[in-house]
């Protein structure tokens, strides 16, 4: 089959790789009909290369048709249409019983000290072949795949794989009081959904911040108040002034480790990228290599007693944090990989009707064949051609 493989920094290629097959009785094989490029895939393209090896298959936002199931997979049969969550969970271990599916003890990558295995996301998370491919082997298929209706556009349901539940969890963690104010840093795909979900779940005011004109316009189209950070010399000060001189009740950081405006973090990431993999891994494991400008701005913007929710991915082990200020102001900080299946039952009814309250059909800017995935990665990273979300078709 054809699949997108990582070959080096900013070097991904569509190649022929072996077809997946059933390896465990709880496996399924899914023929992929749509698969998206995630913002966190760009971390692999740029920063997290030391944890990849040439030939690794990327991608963790797939959906398609079940082709084959293992002997212990019940509830799924060939021909079923499914979305595959990015994290791999068994559904029955101690963690899964508490709906902490991103910490599944059956698939935890204990050798790396990490949580549940992820599709297409480095040796840190199990080196499981990803879904930017024609076919995908799905472990723990007795629990993971989400059955969806046989009719309707793929893009109605595709984002259940990651970014829609990730945004839902970020908003739930932010815990904005009814009628309160939510600020969302970063209006990429997750940030767009955070802003829309925040309004849907009862925030009285949602403010989105970004520096890309197309992203600002898309959020504005969905009724979100927007701030162009290029026009602000003091982002936290501006937010505080906008919201009663106190700041928003809750702030979501939907940007993560490659934020603009962090020259020291960018230098550390660049330096790590120049080292041999083992040394680069050591530097990442033991140093502060994240760009923290957005996280620090979020912490300084939120009102006293408010909550900062992190959905953006961070990778450093020794990042400096303003703990005295956080403690004095009583800030709550919540974060983590999304527990996808925890939220999908709440989200699915919103996708099944005709009204599309979360605007899932107004996010994708580019739909391209899998063969053009390398160009799509470059375009997405450089924010060219108004690119906000790319969907690939194998």
Q: What are the pLDDT digits (tens) for 17-40?
A: 999 999 999 999 999 999 999 999
Q: Using one digit for the tens of pLDDT, what is the confidence trace for 52-97? A: 999 999 999 999 999 999 999 999 999 999 999 999 999 999 999 9
- The answer to whether 237 and 247 are in contact (CB under 8 A) is no
pLDDT value at position 353?
Answer: 85
pLDDT value at position 233?
Answer: 95
CA–CA dist 127, 118 (Å, integer) = 8
pLDDT value at position 266?
Answer: 44
Q: State whether residue 245 is helix, strand or coil.
A: coil
The token duo for 155 is 């893009």
Q: Average of pLDDT values for 186-211? A: 97
Whole-model pTM: value is 0.92
The token duo for 320 is 């400096």
3-state percent breakdown (helix, strand, coil) of the chain, nearest 5: 35, 20, 45
Q: Using one digit for the tens of pLDDT, what is the confidence trace for 256-303? A: 876 444 444 444 444 444 445 554 555 455 555 578 999 999 999 999
Q: Using one digit for the tens of pLDDT, what is the confidence trace for 224-252? A: 999 999 999 999 999 999 999 999 999 99
The DSSP line for 308-337 is EEE-S----SS----HHHHHHHT-EEEE-S
Nearest to 170 by CA among 142, 191, 199: 191
Q: In the structure, what pLDDT confidence band is assigned to residue 354 with cuts at 50, 70 and 90?
A: confident
CA–CA dist 143, 50 (Å, integer) = 31
Nearest to 295 by CA among 340, 338, 265: 265
169-172, Cβ contacts within 8 angstroms, sequence gap of 24 or more: 169/311, 169/338, 169/339, 169/342, 169/343, 170/194, 170/252, 170/254, 170/309, 170/310, 170/311, 171/197, 171/198, 171/201, 171/252, 171/309, 172/343
Q: Using one digit for the tens of pLDDT, what is the confidence trace for 158-194? A: 999 999 999 999 999 999 999 999 999 999 999 999 9
CA–CA dist 66, 64 (Å, integer) = 7
pLDDT value at position 285?
Answer: 57
């Amino acid at each position: 089959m054809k699949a997108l493989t990582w070959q080096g920094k900013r070097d991904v290629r569509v190649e022929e790789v072996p077809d997946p097959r059933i390896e465990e009785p709880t496996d399924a094989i899914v023929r992929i009909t749509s698969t998206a490029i995630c913002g966190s895939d760009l971390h692999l393209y740029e920063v997290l290369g030391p944890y990849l090896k040439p030939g690794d298959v990327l991608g963790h936002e797939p959906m398609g048709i079940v082709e084959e199931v293992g002997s212990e997979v019940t509830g799924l049969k060939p021909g079923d249409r499914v979305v595959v969550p990015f994290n791999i969970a068994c559904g029955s271990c101690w963690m899964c019983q508490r709906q902490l599916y991103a910490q599944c003890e059956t698939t935890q990558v204990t050798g790396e000290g990490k949580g549940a295995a992820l599709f297409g996301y480095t040796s840190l998370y199990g080196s499981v072949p990803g879904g930017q491919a024609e076919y995908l082997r799905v472990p723990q298929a007795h629990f993971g795949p989400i059955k969806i209706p046989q009719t309707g556009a793929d893009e109605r349901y595709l984002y259940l794989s990651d970014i829609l539940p990730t945004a839902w969890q970020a908003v739930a963690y932010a815990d904005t009081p009814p009628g309160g104010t939510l600020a969302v840093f970063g209006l990429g795909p997750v940030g767009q959904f955070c802003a829309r979900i925040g309004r849907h779940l009862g925030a009285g005011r949602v403010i989105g911040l970004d520096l890309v004109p197309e992203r600002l316009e898309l959020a504005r189209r969905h009724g979100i108040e927007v701030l162009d950070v290029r026009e602000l010399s003091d982002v936290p000060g501006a937010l505080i002034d906008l919201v009663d001189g106190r700041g928003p009740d809750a702030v979501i950081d939907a940007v993560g480790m490659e934020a603009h405006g962090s020259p020291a973090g960018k230098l550390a990431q660049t330096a790590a990228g120049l080292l041999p993999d083992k040394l680069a891994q050591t530097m990442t494991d033991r140093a502060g290599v994240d760009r923290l400008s957005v996280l620090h701005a979020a912490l300084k913007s939120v009102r006293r007693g408010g909550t900062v929710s992190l959905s953006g991915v961070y990778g450093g082990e020794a990042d400096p944090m303003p703990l005295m200020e956080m403690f004095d102001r009583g800030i709550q900080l919540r974060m983590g990989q999304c527990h996808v299946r925890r939220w999908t039952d709440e989200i699915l009814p919103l996708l099944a009707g005709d009204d599309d309250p979360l605007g899932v059909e107004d996010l994708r800017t580019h739909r391209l064949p899998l063969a053009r995935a390398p160009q799509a990665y470059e375009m997405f990273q450089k924010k060219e051609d108004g690119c906000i979300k790319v969907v690939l078709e194998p």
